[in-house]
Amino acid sequence: MSKHPSHRTRFSDSSYYDEVCIYCGAHDEVPGGWGRLAKPCPEARDQHEISQDLHDLVKAHFNEPVLTDFQVGRIIGYSQDAMDCYMMIRYPNPTKVIHHTMVGGYYFLDRLKGQNLVISTQGEEWDDYFRIDNMLELNGCPKEKEFLLEIDNWNYIVYNNTVRG
Ligand SMILES: [Zn+2]
């Protein structure tokens, strides 16, 4: 007998049980084993359920610079867990990836296109968007080839502010 993987448990400080499911409230028994946690979770969510609107929004800004918490990074993907939806952002100096909550605290920078535009002697168009993009390129945040996607609804992982490579 073991815990059924469809439950999403957190640890508890109750003296009667150690783990309780955040969906259905089932818990193990101390002593006595897994109790109702051994059976499939009646409130389990679809593993592949994805917040399509948020995903599409992030994808529309793929590889763009984004401002968060007074720092500029590059949007490289979308992730989701049981708790929240996130924009995956790579930051420079030192290079790190943060899963930033979609709830707020981020500013897309595509509106800077065309601002302070000059044409270089080689005929290249340099605007403020290009300058920030270029700054990221030069500091360890090149554009990604593919949009990253991490949907991990079975595992209770809070990505927010977690450094993952
Ligand atoms: Zn459950």
Cα(157) to ligand 1 centroid in Å equals 16
- 150, 157 contact by CB (below 8 A): no
* Nearest to 85, CA basis, from 4, 34, 1, 159: 159
pLDDT at 67: 97
With a threshold of 0.75, does the pTM exceed it?
no
pLDDT at 156: 39
- 7, 37 contact by CB (below 8 A): yes
pLDDT at 161: 41
pLDDT at 46: 58
Helices (H), strands (E): how many in the chain? Answer: 2, 10
| Cα→Cα distances 120→123, 127, 131, Å | 5, 10, 13
Q: For residues 71 and 131, what is the distance between their CA atoms, to the nearest angstrom?
A: 15
pLDDT at 100: 93
pLDDT at 56: 92
Cα(102) to ligand 1 centroid in Å equals 26
DSSP 62-101: TT-EEEETTEEEEEEEEEE-SS-EEEEEEETTTTEEEEEE
- 2, 34 contact by CB (below 8 A): yes
* Nearest to 62, CA basis, from 51, 76, 73: 76
Residue 33 per-residue DSSP state: B
User: pLDDT digit of tens for each residue in the chain (165 aa)?
Assistant: 788 887 878 888 777 888 888 888 899 987 888 999 998 888 776 555 678 889 999 999 999 999 998 899 999 999 887 777 899 999 998 899 999 999 899 999 999 999 999 999 999 999 999 999 999 999 999 999 999 988 765 443 444 444 444
Cα(10) to ligand 1 centroid in Å equals 11
> What's the per-residue H, E or C state across 56-67?
HHHHHCCCCEEE
With H, G, I as helix, E, B as strand and everything else as coil, classify residue 52: helix
pLDDT at 132: 97
Cα(50) to ligand 1 centroid in Å equals 20
Cα(37) to ligand 1 centroid in Å equals 7
Q: Which amino acid, 114? A: G
pLDDT at 106: 96
